[in-house]
Amino acid sequence: NPHSATIAIRGTQETVFPFGLVSILNNHTVTVNANQTASNVTVELGGVLTVNSGNSLSIAENAKLILAGQANISGTLSIADASTEGLVIEDGGSLIGNVSRAATLNRNLSLANWHTISSPLSGMTILGSEFAPWNGSVLDPGYDFYFFDEGVAFNVDNWYPWINLRHSGSVPNASFETQFVAAKGYLVYYTSSPADGSFSFKGNLNAGDKSIPLGLTPANPASIEGWNLIGNPFPSGFDWAAAMADNTTATEDVFAYVCDDSIDQYDPVEDFVAPNQGFFVKAEAEVGFSFKDQFRAHGGTFLKNNTPADVLSFELNHANGSDMASLRLKEGTAFERDRQDALKLYSFSPGMPQLYFFTSDQVKVAISSVPEINSETSFSLGLSTPVAGEYTLSVNELSGMFQSEPIFLRDLLTGAEQNLQQTPEYTFQAQEGTDQERFIITFAQTTHVPVTGESLVNIYTWGQTLYVNFSEEGANRLLQLYDLGGRLVFSQTLDHGTSHALQMKLEQGMYLVRIQSPKSVTTKRVFVR
């Protein structure tokens, strides 16, 4: 449009910019294969600017490059305005190349949610920035700002190992680091911001490999030991899968644990990490972790994973929020916890429901990767319900082999069984404070026994002992124990009395207790260790 002195480049172009002002639109690419000069250049979301090796793009005086899409700079990018306003990378923009000049990077953060962030810049002071407002004497009360120090002794009264920017109230913590540290993650929460959730990093772009030490302190509780809050140090996405393939010894698993503000839960990411995204990793050793420049990539729309081929994913919903847990088939994995299983991290918000699978060695995981499924395999699904009320468990995703398999859910509390292929939602009641195994997922229907009203106080196991407590005396009660394949493995008639302790010699696993009396039949699932 020469009348407005703006060229909207459509398609792939390798020409000079005769009118000086350039807009690269969504789904369009501009490739620079010569030495070019332009004034203001805008790369819209979905647009791509490429400067090939041996060529250059020069931005004139009093002009800038605004990047909301992607830029690949193998050649030279020269911007006359050397300030942070000469290069502006919008939220969602991504730049790859050896560009280490001053820049502004904008990041949108929703208010009243926790976020994990990381700076793509060097030399940026924290205190007094938009991320940590300070007028020189008192801190703005509308935010929280922390880093995580795995090596600090746990102290719940002082929030350790979370290190607070605030010493107390509006007084800054004098020992808090002055500038953002490359490849380090930070936890932030805002009730207000300068521009309704828009924040800006301002400084010199990081370029080249960046490393950060990983802590592993055995003296700390298991919930802290080995956990490190790090972050993508680049103004581009980062290929986390490639980094994990390159370094298989630094971390306990292949996941980057990102705080997903859209659902207020952690999301285990294993493909791309977004620009300026902070995340947790679980250290396998006390070593340095390197973010190699070669693994920079365009990708990592915040928290977006590629979908594996064979996935069965569940979603737990309540009025307070939701959570997800997934079972997937992956060659080379095990039923015990391994590097392909994502540990379960609980939300920062105490009222959020939590959902997780148990591995065969009883580790809680958000993603359980297993080598196979068949009519003999079963998987335990646990939940945490901070408040009492009605919950709904539903199939969120069904792909690959799971689409053709029969899938059954068994409620261990009520004994109810449901075919999830026919009815993918199950609504149930849960008590406040529940945090336990509640469901069994199988791929063949278990032996069905009707559930009626025998008045039981409790049925539970401790080791190889099965405890049965009735609320009243009774006679001629037949107790039978079945494995998940429907085979009878234990049977005994209970004598008079209300309390019984039965010794067993069984393999570890889930079993169905069936008690038949002259008046009723009762069933319940128990786990034998």
* The 3-state secondary structure of 222-251, one letter per residue: CCCCCEEEEECCCCCEEEHHHHHHHCCCCE
**Which residue reads 């109810």 in tokens?**
416
- Give me the pLDDT at residue 18, please: 53
> 411 near 382, Cβ under 8 Å?
no
Separation between Cα atoms, residue 501 and residue 240, nearest integer Å: 52
Token pair listed for 457: 């106080």
Token pair listed for 120: 């793509």
Q: What are the strands of the beta sheet with 94-97, ordered from one edge?
A: 29-32, 48-51, 70-73, 94-97
- Give me the pLDDT at residue 20, please: 66
Separation between Cα atoms, residue 81 and residue 78, nearest integer Å: 9
**How confident is the model over 207-248, as pLDDT tens digits?**
899 999 999 998 788 889 999 999 999 999 999 999 999 999
- Give me the pLDDT at residue 2, please: 36
- Give me the pLDDT at residue 308, please: 55
Question: What is the chain's percent helix, strand, coil content, to nearest 5?
Answer: 5, 45, 50
> 79 near 65, Cβ under 8 Å?
yes
> 231 near 278, Cβ under 8 Å?
yes
> 272 near 239, Cβ under 8 Å?
yes
- Give me the pLDDT at residue 486, please: 63
Separation between Cα atoms, residue 250 and residue 282, nearest integer Å: 9
Q: 3-state class of 400 per DSSP?
A: helix
> 444 near 419, Cβ under 8 Å?
no
**Which residue reads 């149930």 in tokens?**
428
What DSSP letter does each residue of 264-330 carry, written as one string? TEEEEE-SEE-TTBEEEEEBSSS-EEEE-GGGEES---TT--PPPSSEEEEEEEETTEEEEEEEEE-
Q: Which residue positions in the chain have pLDDT lower than 50?
A: 1-16, 302-307, 448-453
Q: 3-state class of 3 per DSSP?
A: helix
Cβ count within 10 A of residue 307? 10
- Give me the pLDDT at residue 200, please: 96
Q: 3-state class of 4 per DSSP?
A: helix
Token pair listed for 408: 């059954």
> 528 near 419, Cβ under 8 Å?
no
- Give me the pLDDT at residue 160, please: 78
> 336 near 294, Cβ under 8 Å?
no
Q: Residue 21: exposed, middle, or buried by beta-carbon count in 10 A (0-12, 13-18, 19+)?
A: middle
- Give me the pLDDT at residue 305, please: 44
> 48 near 68, Cβ under 8 Å?
no
> 464 near 526, Cβ under 8 Å?
no
- Give me the pLDDT at residue 446, please: 64
Nearest to 88 by CA among 73, 106, 70: 106
> 232 near 238, Cβ under 8 Å?
yes
Global pTM?
0.80
- Give me the pLDDT at residue 71, please: 97
**Cα 296 to Cα 29, 101, 199, 203, 421, distances in angstroms:** 20, 18, 23, 20, 41
Measure the CA dihedral 165/168/174/176, to 10°. -20
Round the CA-based radius of gyration of the chain to a whole number and report it.
Answer: 28
